[in-house]
Amino acid sequence: MRWGRWPILTRVDQKQWDDLRAAAVEVAERAWAPYSHYRVGAAALVDDGRLVVGCNVENAAYGVTLCAECGLVSQLHATGGGRLTHFVCVNGAGEVIMPCGRCRQLLFEHGGNELVMWTVSGIKTMDEVLPDAFGPQDLEGTAR
């Protein structure tokens, strides 16, 4: 699969979701999971048409393990920033899985309530996956 630019999409059909999932499956094969052996891959579309991906990178000090979503958001910013529009996450067997709570917060920060996600229970928006999320708007007016 070629990673890079896709046409800018507001709606994604099942073939495009399948292609996005295939990118997540491909990058999951590159995960570094020598301890848990639980590979994770994530793929997302960006508002300018880019495809960004990430895989989990474990560490012997488990607390510093990087989730696939962390790598994805890092690639988002390393390649120009923008907003995530569509997202999917898979395990090493290629099954769609849910991001953990920490990663849902991370995805919300970079995609907002409008981010569309393929979840274990179907296609949902971020505001369905993480209702009443804490975000930048909650920090407005806060002394720094």
Q: Which of 29, 58, 69, 114 is catalytic?
A: 69
Residue the block writes with tokens 């209702």: 131
Give yes or no: 26 in active site. Answer: no
Q: What are phi and psi of 63, to 5 degrees?
A: -65, -20
Q: Are 49 and 24 in contact (CB under 8 A)?
A: no
Q: Reading across the β-sheet that carries 116-119, which strands appear in turn? A: 51-55, 40-46, 84-91, 116-119, 122-125
Rounded-to-integer distance, Cα 11 and Cα 65, Å: 33
Catalytic residues: 69
